[in-house]
Amino acid sequence: MTGYDSIRINLTSAGQFRSAILNISRQLIGCEILTDTGNYIIMEVLVEDGRIKTEELLRRMNKYATLCLMT
């Protein structure tokens, strides 16, 4: 994703390419899915310092930790 800050991937049907996109996002260093709705996915590059606020990082870490503990 060189040269891009974010990319929006429109999905024409539920689940289309979703698993492939999730697998790709796990392999791209510094790239993360920020929004995942039924209609689109937004991936953002977060390797630049200050790209995302500390409060947002902590909120997301809490969300993921909670999900991990639930399973």
- List the domain boundaries for the chain: 6-70
Model pLDDT, residue 2: 64
pLDDT tens profile 47-68:
766 667 778 878 888 887 888 8
pLDDT tens profile 11-36:
876 566 778 888 888 888 778 888 88
Write out the two tokens for 52.
């995302």
Contact 47, 30 (CB under 8 A): yes
Contact 9, 41 (CB under 8 A): yes
The reported pTM is: 0.58
Write out the two tokens for 34.
């920020």
**DSSP structural state of residue 50:** T
Q: Is the pLDDT of residue 4 over 70?
A: yes
Contact 44, 5 (CB under 8 A): yes
